[in-house]
Amino acid sequence: MTQTSDNVTWLTQEAYNQLKAELEYLSGPARTEIAVKIAAAREEGDLRENGGYHAAKEEQGKMELRVRQLTQLLEHAKVGEAPAADGVVAPGMLVTIAFDGDPDDTLEFLMASREYASTEIETYSPQSPLGSGVNGKKVGEDAEYELPNGKKASVKILAAVPFTG
């Protein structure tokens, strides 16, 4: 789905369309909805003690941040094909690893940009310690990455298939 190289993010056409649709919604109907909420809360009186007003303003701030993130991402996006089903770990792949080679201690995740993270599947960016450790490795190979405490961890690549989402 995505691969970040310098300031360029590679997206499949499907991922690009999905992110563009989210941006269009947030820039249009969602902005109108939040403005209505803020106006209604403002009419309730004293803004210092108005929880609805403060919640709506906070929601507006988060939404505007997401609009800026999506705008920047899409401005620098290049649309390309999904990765090949060649068993090599790359952005856009659904990856299964075994920690310390233990087939009972596994993790399946999507290797993709954080902007493409979904609630259905765990997502690691290619720039994360785990993502950079496994990127480019083939099924059956071992990979090493650095943990936050500075120690090294080892994983074995069990599967790497294109994510069809």
Q: Please, is 30 exposed, middle or buried when counting C-beta atoms within 10 Å of its C-beta (0-12, 13-18, 19+)?
A: middle
In order of their start, the domains of the chain are 2-80 (1.10.287.180), 93-162 (3.10.50.30)
Q: Write out the H or E segment, with its range, that includes residue 127.
A: none
pLDDT tens-digit series, residues 148-164: 898 999 999 999 988 76
SS3 call for 90 = coil
* Average confidence (pLDDT) over 116-128: 75
Among candidate residues 61, 7, 3, 6, the one with its CA nearest the CA of residue 31:
61
Give per-residue pLDDT as tens, 68-90. Answer: 988 888 887 777 665 667 888 88
- Please tell me the predicted confidence (pLDDT) of residue 100: 82
